[in-house]
Structure 1
Amino acid sequence: MSTSVLLLTHLAFFAIWLGAHLAGLVLLWQMRAAERSGATEQRHMVVALMRIERLSRSAFILMLPLGIELAEARGLFEMTGAGTAGVWLLALIWLIGVWRQPRSRRTDLAVGIRTAQRVLMVIVGLLMLGTGALSLAGGPPLGTSWLAAKFMLYGAALLLTFGIEMVTQPVLYSTEGDSLRPPPPFAVSLEHSLPRASALAVLLYLCLLAAAWFGLTQGA
């Protein structure tokens, strides 16, 4: 695949991720406004939020191996064929976990899949932060400081995404539950989650926009 095609595909997934993530945040604010106006049925909006979350996460997951392919095509660093295949395999497994999520988020299977995704998100985020920091200090494998900074920004973005998910989890649970595990009150969950999720989202957007700026200006 040519460098130009890789770049356009990478940018397309970035646009999908950013648009879907912003749409999810706007939907949360709409849910809050509807709740304050006295609306009682929010299940359909929660379902829409879950679908948007999947689209956003899928685009972000695919950005990572595409970015590595793009950096390799530009000669910025080298990775073995097995390493590149491993990155794509990891992304594929992650995508399967995102889209095979059971309808109910409170089943044991759903909890297990979600926990595995979160662990993976944190591990990959920390690895990217560590790789970038090591390269900035003059070590391998990244040969340029801007690429090392971009790796660190993507790692921070993954950790911020993890934080947003943990903060908004009560909202997604609020329409589910049973007699043994009753859901938290929807209004309370939304009021507590939204301000913190919005603050983390602003930091996330700044990280990703800075990473995009490095890629477009320094990597051109």
Structure 2
Amino acid sequence: MSVYAYPSLVFVHLLLFVLWLGADVGVFVLGQHFRKRQSYTLDQRLALLKLLVEVDMVPRTAWALMVPVSLSVVAMGGFWAVPQWLLVLAWAVGAFWIWLVWDAHLHDQTPRAARDRRIEFVLKIGLTLFYLGLGGLSLAGQGPLLDVWLAAKALLFGVIFAAAIMIDVAFKPVGPLLVRLIREGSSDATEVPLLRTMNRTRIWVWTVYALLLATAYIGSVKPF
């Protein structure tokens, strides 16, 4: 194996983190401007929303790739003798997840996209349980991760999954509310419920940001 293989994989891991968090901040900023009904026309705000959806594909793709890449880093770094079948499965899951994300994006507002998102939702629940179990059992001394910092990082990654799932749950009412806004125009009756829903979603967005930073800090500093 090349001496550059492991550090290159670590670089890819860090790059995915940067793309995930950085692009997600861009999504957040665009969302903030969409909320400014006094500063933009409705058409301008809808254009911002379309751009938001496009930018959002970057963190969604990075998130999916983070699953196989993180396990590969753990295996190549000698932190855990990850079974070969699990590595293969991780890359297959990552590839399938990316396909679901992009297929839903390219066929948005269709039954096919709705089906893709239902499957993705179940997939994310499964991955949440996997990382929570991996991290929790390892911290309790019953899992394969012997380093406390790595076990804590795996546990936090599972919590990130859970918080990100809650973003999707909290954001779900936005679709019908947005349709109503487009049909009826901007008014307190159409804007206030939409704003209230987006505000609830932001709580989980900030939670994901905090958890991502905490996970990156633990992985870089290894404080315990």
TM tier, smaller? 0.7 to 0.9
The residue type paired with residue 101 of structure 1 is A
Aligned to 1:64: 67
Q: Find the partner of 1:43 among 37, 42, 46.
A: 46
Aligned to 2:215: 211
CA offsets, 1:108-164, max 9 Å, x none? 211111111111112101221111111111112212211111011111111111111
Measured after TM superposition, the shift of residue 103 of structure 1 is 4.8
Cα gap change, 1:103/1:188 in structure 2, threshold over 3 Å: closer, same or farther? farther
Indicate the structure whose relative CO is greater, using CA pairs within 8 Å and at least 6 residues apart: 1
Answer whether contact 1:164 1:200 (CA < 8 A) is retained. Answer: yes
CA-based RMSD: 2.2
Structure 2 residue 85 is the aligned partner of structure 1 residue 85: no
In structure 2, what is the Cα distance between the partners aligned to 1:78 and 1:217?
Answer: 23
Measured after TM superposition, the shift of residue 37 of structure 1 is 3.8
Matched ranges for 1:184-203 at <5 A: 187-203=191-207
CA offsets, 1:178-211, max 9 Å, x none? xxxx9xx762453122222222122111111111
Cα gap change, 1:186/1:77 in structure 2, threshold over 3 Å: closer, same or farther? farther
The residue type paired with residue 55 of structure 2 is I
Does the residue aligned with 2:35 lie in a helix, a strand or coil? Answer: helix
In structure 2, what is the Cα distance between the partners aligned to 1:107 and 1:199?
Answer: 29
Does the residue aligned with 1:100 lie in a helix, a strand or coil? Answer: helix
Aligned to 2:140: 137
Aligned length: 212
The share of aligned pairs that are identical, in percent, is 27
Aligned to 2:30: 27
In structure 1, what is the Cα distance between the partners aligned to 2:40 and 2:14?
Answer: 41
Taking structure 1 as the reference length, the TM-score comes to 0.87
In the TM superposition, structure 1's runs of 4+ consecutive aligned residues that sit over 6 Å from their partners are: none
Aligned to 2:157: 154
The 10-residue stretch of structure 1 (109-118 or 161-170) with the greater mean CA deviation from structure 2: 161-170
Cα gap change, 1:9/1:189 in structure 2, threshold over 3 Å: closer, same or farther? farther
**Unmatched tracts of structure 1, length 5 or more:** none
**Unmatched tracts of structure 2, length 5 or more:** none
In structure 1, what is the Cα distance between the partners aligned to 2:131 and 2:177?
Answer: 33
Measured after TM superposition, the shift of residue 79 of structure 1 is 1.3
Measured after TM superposition, the shift of residue 215 of structure 1 is 1.3
Answer whether contact 2:134 2:151 (CA < 8 A) is retained. Answer: yes
In structure 2, what is the Cα distance between the partners aligned to 1:114 and 1:36?
Answer: 33
Structure 2 residue 60 is the aligned partner of structure 1 residue 52: no
Taking structure 2 as the reference length, the TM-score comes to 0.86
Cα gap change, 1:170/1:36 in structure 2, threshold over 3 Å: closer, same or farther? farther
Measured after TM superposition, the shift of residue 173 of structure 1 is 5.0
The residue type paired with residue 7 of structure 2 is S
CA offsets, 1:22-58, max 9 Å, x none? 111111110001x244622233222212112211110
